[in-house]
Amino acid sequence: MSRVLPTPVRGRLADDREILLFDTDTELGVDRRGLPLRPALPTTTVRRDPRTGDHVILAPARQERTYFPPRQMCPLCPDPEGLSSEIPAADYRVAVLENRFPSLDTPQVPYPADSQENSLRRERTGTGRCEVVCFSSDHDGSFAELPDDHARLMIDVWAQRTAELYSRDDIAEVFCFENRGTEIGVTLPHPHGQIYGYPFRTRRTRALLRTAAEYRAEHGADLFEALLAAEIADGTRVLVRTAHTTAFVPYAARWPVEVHILPNRHVRNLTELTDDEADDLARVYRTVLRAFDALYARPLPYIASWHQYRADAAEGYLHAELFSIRRSADKLKFLAGSESGRDAFVNDKTPETIAAELRAVL
């Protein structure tokens, strides 16, 4: 049986963006900043690359996004006065707000039809939804350091946002993710992640679904179920296996640190987990993140990427993909010619070595 998802306290910021607080007794205050109202129409566009069919989002307003503010001006710390922060409250556990500098945005009025000038120049309005998810009011915290119940709350918040965004006809894919560390490009150190509601399926998702469909046509079985069973049977790269969740280094890992986390039961997205499965997934997820930070005795820069799909999708299996660009204690992996120019990854470590290094610090 699916679990009950949390109901947020909803409010509006000074520029009319939505803000949601989860699992809190704190009253949401008034945002007194003199922000201009957000544009009625999205300021972003999506163009189709005629060579590859990929979608490219053009969001020039993001050039003005917040960039390493001083600690006392952190926009994600609580501010009960409503004068300097995105979160006008005395405290919070989890806060979700529409991004002030979105890559995609929900229009306030009907928007122009897509441009179909010709097959080489296709452009559409950049509609969708971009949210910032603040994991905690603790400026110096991290997801790995959250208590058990707080980490579980985060799983439920992601699920609640997934359910609400997938209910919209204009959103084709819901992507929950975290960028962590300045090496990744993070310019706000306060622990947070993001959620993108894309109006299209991304290239990565299309590739995964295409490969899964090809595997089913050839073998009559689900690709991810087969992958999970194979990793468990082999055991060489398995890091954690519990009653409900398995974490392993993938057979063809592209990154010098890479872990995939799958529920043992086949579900499409976070909303379909039972209470026990959600509890277990939160514990395993946090265990892997703690191993990441113990690997080099310093916080590891990483990207945490959740793959999920609509409940009625023909293919797809909920899983988290976590990876880092750090290849040693003092070296980073740069995506140079082969990776950036051809999307052909070269890994300096074998997946078996990665697994052994992570198991040593679990």
Does 150 participate in catalysis according to the annotation?
no
The reply to whether 268 and 337 lie within a common domain is yes
The reply to whether 220 and 288 lie within a common domain is yes
For residues 249 and 354, the answer to whether their CB atoms sit within 8 Å is yes
The reply to whether 157 and 261 lie within a common domain is no
Q: Is 288 among the domain residues?
A: yes
The reply to whether 137 and 246 lie within a common domain is no
Does residue 287 surpass a pLDDT of 60? yes
The reply to whether 50 and 180 lie within a common domain is yes
Summary mean pLDDT of the chain: 95
The reply to whether 160 and 262 lie within a common domain is no
Range of the structural domain that residue 173 is part of: 9-200
Helix 148-166 vs helix 275-295: angle between axes, to the nearest 10 degrees?
110
Report pTM.
0.96
The two structure tokens encoding residue 55 = 């979608």
Structural domains counted in the chain: 2
Residue 41's pLDDT band, with cuts at 50, 70 and 90, is confident
Does residue 229 surpass a pLDDT of 90? yes
Does residue 78 surpass a pLDDT of 80? yes
Q: Is 1 among the domain residues?
A: no
- Mean of pLDDT values over 66-88: 96
Does residue 1 surpass a pLDDT of 60? no
**Domain limit, last residue, from 150, 180, 200:** 200
**Domain limit, last residue, from 200, 220, 245:** 200
The reply to whether 130 and 278 lie within a common domain is no
**Domain limit, last residue, from 150, 184, 200:** 200
Q: Is 2 among the domain residues?
A: no
Residue 106's pLDDT band, with cuts at 50, 70 and 90, is confident
- Mean of pLDDT values over 263-279: 98
Set 192, 244, 260, 319: catalytic member: 192
Contacts of 203 (CB under 8 A, 6+ apart): 52, 54, 55
Q: What are phi and psi of 41, to 5 degrees?
A: -105, 145
The reply to whether 77 and 213 lie within a common domain is no
pLDDT of residue 111: 61
55: left (phi over 0), alpha (psi -120 to 50) or beta: beta
